[in-house]
Chain A
Amino acid sequence: MQKTAGRLLLPPKMLRIMKMTNFFLLAFCIHLSARTHSQEAITLSVKNASLKEIFTVIKKQTGYVVFYKSDLLATARPVSLSVSGMALDAFLDIALKGQGLKYEITDKTIILSRKPDKIDEPQDRSAMASLSGNPPPVEIRGQVTFQGKPVAGASVTIKPGNRGVATDDKGFFVLPEIQKGQYTLEVSSIGYKKVTRVITISEAPTVLNISMEQALDQVEEVVITNGYSIKKAGELTGSVQKISGDDLRKGLTTSDPVSLLKGRATGLYISEQGAGDPTSSGGQIFVRGQSSVAGVGVDQVNEFVLPTLNYGPLLVLDGVIMPNQNLKELVTPQEIEDITILKDAAATAIYGSRAAAGVLVVNTKRGSSNKPRVSAEIKYGLNEPNRGPVHFLSGQELYDRQKQYYSADYQINNASLHIKYPTLQSYLDFKLPTTDDVAHSFDWQKYVFAGSNTREVNLSASGGNEKTKYYMGGTYYNEQSTAVHNGLAKGAFRMNLESKLSDRMTAAVSISGSMNEGRRELFQTGPSLYNFIPWANPYNTDGTLKYNLSFKENGATVKKANPLFENQFNTLSLRSQLLFGSVRLEYRVTDWLTLSTTNSGSLNYIKNEKYADARSYVASSTVTASKGFLNTTTNYLNSFLTSNQLNFHKTFGEHAVSALAAMEYGRTASENMFINVNNIRAGYPVISLARQIGGSADLAALGITDVKTGNIEGGKEIQAVYSVFGEAGYTFRKRYSLSGSVRTDASSAFGRDKRYGTFYSGGAAWILSGENFMKPFKWINNLKLRANYGTSGSQLGDNFLTQTLYDPSYTYSGQRAASISILGNPNLHWEVTKTLSGGIDLGLFRRINATIDAYDRRSEDLLQKVTLPSLNGFPIQWQNVAEVRNTGLEILISSDNIVRKDFRWSSSFNISYNRNSILHVANDSLHQGFYTENSFYLYKGDDINTLKAVKYAGVDPQSGKPRFEKLLFDAKGQVAGKNYVNTVDEVIASGDVRQFQTIGSFQPKFYGGLTNTFSYKQFSLNILISYALKYVMVDNLPQTNQGTHLTSYNQLAFRDNQVQWTTPGQTNATEASIYYHNNTDYFGSSKYIHDGSHARLRSVRLSYDLPASVLKRAKLSGCTLYFSGDNLYTLYSKNIVASDPEGPSVGQAQSFGNSSGAGLAIPRRYVFGVQVNF
Chain B
Amino acid sequence: MKKIFLLFLPVLVATSCNKQIDDIRPLTKIDKDGELASVTGITEATLGSYLLINSSGFTFLFDEPLQDLSEDRGNNVTLQDWAPASQKTDAFFFRNSNSPTSGFNATYYRGAYQLIVSNNINLEGIASFQASSAYTILTDADKNKVLYAKGENLFMRAFAYFNLVRLYGKPYYQNGGSGPAVPLKTSSDVKDAPSPATVKEVYAFIVKDLQMAAQLMKVTGVTRTNAFATTAAAWALLSRVFLYMGGSIANPDPAANQLAAAYADSVIGSTGTKYALLQGDAYQQMFGDDEFGDLGRSVFSGNKEILFAYDNAYPGSLIGELYNYDAEDGTGAIFLPSSDLLNLYVPADARGNFFRTNSNTGYLETTKWLVLNVYSVSSAPQIFLRMGEVYLNRAEANAKLGNMTKARADLKAIHTRAGLPGADVDALADGELLAAVLKERRMELAFEGHNSFDYFRNGLPMTRTAADNNGTELTIQPDDPKVIFTIPLN
Q: How far is the CB of B30 from chain A (nearest CB, A)?
A: 5
With beta carbons under 8 angstroms apart, the residue of A553, A720, A877 that contacts B20 is A720
Residues of B within 8 A of A990 (CB): 98-99
When C-beta atoms are compared, the residue in chain A nearest to B30 turns out to be A806
Contact B327 A557 (CB under 8 A): yes
Q: A806-B29, A818-B44, A991-B489 are in contact. Are A704 and B298 (CB under 8 A)?
A: yes
Tell me the chain B residues, 343-399 only, with Cβ under 8 Å from chain A: 358-362, 372-374, 379
A1098 to B359, CA, bound (A): 54
Contact A817 B48 (CB under 8 A): yes
Which of B103-111, B172-180, B203-211 contacts the other chain? Answer: B103-111
Q: How far is the CB of B367 from chain A (nearest CB, A)?
A: 16
With beta carbons under 8 angstroms apart, the residue of B17, B51, B193 that contacts A665 is B17
Interface contact tally, CB-CB below 8 A:
285
Q: How many residues of B contact A (CB 8 A)?
A: 103
Asked whether any CB of chain B lies closer than 8 Å to the CB of A369, the reply is no
Residues of A within 8 A of B79 (CB): 416
A709 to B359, CA, bound (A): 36
Q: How far is the CB of A282 from chain B (nearest CB, A)?
A: 27
Asked whether any CB of chain B lies closer than 8 Å to the CB of A200, the reply is no
Residues of B within 8 A of A624 (CB): 374
Tell me the chain A residues, 984-1001 only, with Cβ under 8 Å from chain B: 984-985, 988-992
Asked whether any CB of chain B lies closer than 8 Å to the CB of A442, the reply is no
Which of B45, B228, B328, B466 has most A Cβ within 10 Å? B328
When C-beta atoms are compared, the residue in chain B nearest to A723 turns out to be B17
Q: How far is the CB of B296 from chain A (nearest CB, A)?
A: 5
Q: A415-B471, A869-B490 are in contact. Are A13 and B13 (CB under 8 A)?
A: yes
Residues of B within 8 A of A812 (CB): 47-48, 50-51, 227, 311
When C-beta atoms are compared, the residue in chain B nearest to A755 turns out to be B21
Contact A724 B14 (CB under 8 A): yes
With beta carbons under 8 angstroms apart, the residue of A554, A622, A983 that contacts B84 is A983
Asked whether any CB of chain A lies closer than 8 Å to the CB of B254, the reply is no
Q: How far is the CB of B336 from chain A (nearest CB, A)?
A: 11
Contact A991 B99 (CB under 8 A): yes
Contact A717 B48 (CB under 8 A): no
Which of B83, B193, B361, B362 has most A Cβ within 10 Å? B83
Contact B330 A989 (CB under 8 A): no
Contact A12 B16 (CB under 8 A): yes
Contact B328 A621 (CB under 8 A): yes
Q: How far is the CB of A808 from chain B (nearest CB, A)?
A: 6
Q: A812-B50, A989-B99 are in contact. Are A873 and B114 (CB under 8 A)?
A: yes
A877 to B28, CA, bound (A): 20
Contact A810 B85 (CB under 8 A): no
A1 to B24, CA, bound (A): 8
Q: How far is the CB of A819 from chain B (nearest CB, A)?
A: 4
With beta carbons under 8 angstroms apart, the residue of A555, A803, A870 that contacts B490 is A870
Asked whether any CB of chain B lies closer than 8 Å to the CB of A638, the reply is no
Contact B45 A818 (CB under 8 A): yes
Q: A818-B44, A991-B98 are in contact. Are A748 and B21 (CB under 8 A)?
A: yes
Asked whether any CB of chain A lies closer than 8 Å to the CB of B56, the reply is yes
Asked whether any CB of chain B lies closer than 8 Å to the CB of A821, the reply is yes
Asked whether any CB of chain B lies closer than 8 Å to the CB of A623, the reply is yes
With beta carbons under 8 angstroms apart, the residue of B51, B114, B361 that contacts A874 is B114
Contact A716 B27 (CB under 8 A): yes
When C-beta atoms are compared, the residue in chain A nearest to B189 turns out to be A872
Asked whether any CB of chain A lies closer than 8 Å to the CB of B75, the reply is no
Asked whether any CB of chain B lies closer than 8 Å to the CB of A646, the reply is yes
Which of B22, B98, B360 has most A Cβ within 10 Å? B360
Contact B100 A991 (CB under 8 A): yes
Contact A872 B327 (CB under 8 A): no
Contact A724 B10 (CB under 8 A): yes
Residues of A within 8 A of B466 (CB): 415
Residues of A within 8 A of B41 (CB): 806, 818
When C-beta atoms are compared, the residue in chain A nearest to B329 turns out to be A558
With beta carbons under 8 angstroms apart, the residue of B121, B227, B328, B472 that contacts A560 is B328
Asked whether any CB of chain A lies closer than 8 Å to the CB of B422, the reply is no
When C-beta atoms are compared, the residue in chain B nearest to A533 turns out to be B330
Q: How far is the CB of A828 from chain B (nearest CB, A)?
A: 14
Residues of B within 8 A of A667 (CB): 20
Contact B48 A810 (CB under 8 A): yes
With beta carbons under 8 angstroms apart, the residue of B28, B110, B193, B228 that contacts A807 is B28
Contact A555 B361 (CB under 8 A): yes
A621 to B326, CA, bound (A): 14
Tell me the chain B residues, 21-59 only, with Cβ under 8 Å from chain A: 21-32, 35, 41, 44-45, 47-48, 50-52, 56, 59
Q: How far is the CB of A117 from chain B (nearest CB, A)?
A: 41
Contact B101 A932 (CB under 8 A): yes
Asked whether any CB of chain A lies closer than 8 Å to the CB of B135, the reply is no
- Chain A residues touching B, range: 35 or more
A553 to B117, CA, bound (A): 44
Asked whether any CB of chain A lies closer than 8 Å to the CB of B183, the reply is yes
Q: How far is the CB of A653 from chain B (nearest CB, A)?
A: 25
Asked whether any CB of chain B lies closer than 8 Å to the CB of A833, the reply is no
With beta carbons under 8 angstroms apart, the residue of B31, B102, B113, B314 that contacts A805 is B31
Asked whether any CB of chain B lies closer than 8 Å to the CB of A703, the reply is yes
Q: How far is the CB of A133 from chain B (nearest CB, A)?
A: 48
Tell me the chain B residues, 447-487 only, with Cβ under 8 Å from chain A: 466-467, 470-472
With beta carbons under 8 angstroms apart, the residue of A415, A720, A875 that contacts B470 is A415
Asked whether any CB of chain A lies closer than 8 Å to the CB of B231, the reply is no
Q: How far is the CB of B295 from chain A (nearest CB, A)?
A: 10
Contact A875 B114 (CB under 8 A): yes
Residues of B within 8 A of A755 (CB): 21
Q: How far is the CB of B106 from chain A (nearest CB, A)?
A: 7
Residues of B within 8 A of A873 (CB): 113-118, 120, 185, 188
Q: How far is the CB of A491 from chain B (nearest CB, A)?
A: 33
Q: How far is the CB of A881 from chain B (nearest CB, A)?
A: 14
Contact A11 B50 (CB under 8 A): no
A553-570 Cβ-contact flags toward B at 8 Å (1 or 0)? 111111110000000000
With beta carbons under 8 angstroms apart, the residue of A13, A17, A710, A805 that contacts B30 is A805
Contact A702 B372 (CB under 8 A): yes
Contact A871 B193 (CB under 8 A): yes
Q: How far is the CB of B410 from chain A (nearest CB, A)?
A: 30
A818 to B31, CA, bound (A): 11
Asked whether any CB of chain B lies closer than 8 Å to the CB of A326, the reply is no
Contact A817 B29 (CB under 8 A): no
Q: How far is the CB of B383 from chain A (nearest CB, A)?
A: 14
Contact B21 A870 (CB under 8 A): no
A817 to B194, CA, bound (A): 30
Tell me the chain A residues, 231-245 only, with Cβ under 8 Å from chain B: none
Residues of B within 8 A of A748 (CB): 21, 24
When C-beta atoms are compared, the residue in chain A nearest to B309 turns out to be A813
Contact B190 A868 (CB under 8 A): yes
Given contacts A716-B27, A716-B28, A873-B114, 9 further A-B contacts (CB under 8 A): A1-B27, A11-B16, A623-B293, A810-B51, A818-B44, A872-B193, A873-B115, A873-B188, A991-B489
Question: Which residues of chain B have a CB within 8 Å of any CB of chain A?
Answer: 2, 5-6, 9-10, 12-14, 16-18, 20-32, 35, 41, 44-45, 47-48, 50-52, 56, 59, 61, 78-79, 82-87, 95, 97-102, 106-107, 109-110, 113-118, 120-121, 183, 185, 188, 190, 193-194, 225, 227-228, 291-293, 296, 298-299, 311, 313-315, 325, 327-328, 330, 358-362, 372-374, 379, 466-467, 470-472, 488-490
16 A–B pairs (Cβ distance < 8 Å), ordered by A:
A416-B467, A416-B471, A556-B361, A557-B359, A558-B327, A623-B292, A663-B14, A715-B27, A806-B31, A806-B45, A809-B28, A812-B311, A819-B52, A824-B31, A872-B193, A985-B102
Question: Which residues of chain A have a CB within 8 Å of any CB of chain B?
Answer: 1, 4, 11-14, 17, 20, 300-303, 413-416, 419, 430, 553-560, 589, 621-624, 646, 663, 665, 667, 697, 699, 702-704, 707, 710, 715-720, 722, 724, 746-748, 752, 755, 799-800, 803-810, 812-813, 815-822, 824, 867-875, 877, 932-935, 983-985, 988-992, 1048, 1079-1081, 1084
Nearest 8 CB-CB pairs, A to B?
A: A873-B117, A415-B471, A715-B28, A817-B47, A722-B17, A813-B311, A818-B44, A813-B227
